[in-house]
Structure 1
Amino acid sequence: MDLSAKSTQQVITFTLFRFEGIQAFWIFAQMQKSKKDFKMVQGLKFFKLMGSGGKNGFSKMLNVNVYTLLAVWESEEAAKIYFDESSHFLGFERRATEYWTIYMKTSKVHGTWSGQKPFENIQPYQSGPIAVITRATIKFRFLRKFWSYVPSVSKNMDERDGSIFSIGIGEYPWLMQATFSLWEDMESMHNYAYRSKFHSEVIQKTRSLGWYSEELFANFVPYKTVGSWEGENPLRPLMV
Structure 2
Amino acid sequence: MIVALTITKFRGITIPFAFIGMAVLRIPLWLNKRCRFWKLMGSGKGAQVDLAPDFKHWAVLTTWENQQDCDTFYQNSFVIKWFNFFGTESFTILLNPLSSHGLWSKKEPFKIEKSHKNHTGKVAVITRAAIRFNKLKEFKQNIKRAADAMRNAPGFILSAGIGENPFFDQATFSIWEDAESMKAYAYKSFDHSDIIKLTREREWYKEELFARFEIIDSWGTLNGASINNTNE
User: Could you tell me the TM-score, scaled by structure 2's length?
Assistant: 0.93
Confirm or deny: 8 A CA contact 1:45 1:73 kept in the other structure.
Answer: yes
Once residues 232 and 169 of structure 1 are traced to their aligned partners in structure 2, the CA distance between those partners, rounded to angstroms, is 17
1:54 equivalenced with 2:45 (yes/no): yes
Instruction: Indicate whether 1:171 and 2:196 are aligned.
Output: no
Aligned residue among 11, 14, 18 for 2:2: 11
Check 1:221–1:152 CA distance in 2 against 1; reply closer, same or farther (3 A cut).
same
Distance 1:130 1:35 in 2: 29
Does the 8 Å contact 1:125/1:221 carry over to 2? no
User: What CA distance in whole angstroms lies between the structure 1 residues aligned with 2:154 and 2:51?
Assistant: 26
* 2:46–2:223 contact (8 Å) kept in structure 1: no
For 1:148, the equivalent position in structure 2 comes to 141
Structure 1 or 2: more helix by fraction: 2
Please give the alpha-carbon distance, in whole angstroms, between the structure 2 residues aligned to 1:88 and 1:130: 27
Tell me whether 1:29 sits opposite 2:20 in the alignment. yes
Say if 1:13 and 1:102, in contact at 8 Å, map to a contact too: yes
How far apart, in 2, do the equivalents of 1:120 and 1:130 lie? 17
**C-alpha distance in structure 2 between counterparts of 1:118 and 1:216, whole Å:** 10
Q: Distance in 1 between matches of 2:26 and 2:43?
A: 18
2:215 alignment partner in structure 1? 222
| CA distance in 1: counterparts of 2:169 and 2:79, whole angstroms | 26
Aligned mates of 1:110, 1:225 — CA distance in 2: 24
| 1:192 and 2:181 correspond | no
- Structure 2, unaligned stretches of length 5 or more? none
Match of 2:202 in 1: 209
- 1:40 is aligned, of 18, 31, 36, to 31
Q: 1:118 aligned to 2:118? A: no
Match of 1:97 in 2: 88
Aligned counterparts of 2:192 and 2:181: Cα–Cα separation in 1:
14
Equivalent residue letter for 1:202: I
- Counterpart AA for 1:28: F
State percent identity of aligned pairs.
Answer: 34
What is the CA-CA distance between 1:125 and the residue it aligns to? 4.2
**Structure 1 residues 179 and 30: alpha-carbon distance in aligned structure 2, compared to 1, 3 A threshold:** same
Query: Residue 111 of structure 2 aligns to a residue in which SS?
Result: coil
Aligned-pair CA distance for 1:41: 2.3
Sort the Cα spacing of 1:78 and 1:139 in 2 relative to 1 into closer, same or farther, 3 A.
Answer: same
- What CA deviation, in whole Å up to 9, does each residue of 1:47-103 have, x standing for no partner? 111111125622352121111111111211001001112244212212211112111
Q: Which 5+ residue runs of structure 1 have no aligned equivalent?
A: 1-9
Corresponding residue SS for 1:99: strand
CA contact (8 A) 1:57 1:63 kept: no
Q: Secondary structure at the match of 1:225?
A: strand
Return structure 1 stretches of 4+ with deviation > 6 angstroms. none
Counterpart for residue 3 of structure 1: none
For residues 45 and 57 of structure 1, do their structure 2 counterparts lie closer, same or farther at Cα, with a shift above 3 Å needed? same
CA distance in 2, matches of 1:207, 1:192: 18
Aligned-residue CA RMSD (Å): 1.6
Residue in structure 1 matched with residue 74 of structure 2 by the alignment: 83
What residue number does 2:173 align with?
Answer: 180
Q: Aligned partners of 2:40, 2:183: CA distance in 1, in Å?
A: 28
Please report how far the alpha carbon of residue 33 of structure 1 lies from its aligned counterpart in structure 2 after TM superposition.
2.3
Name the CA distance, whole Å, in 2 between partners of 1:43 and 1:226. Answer: 23
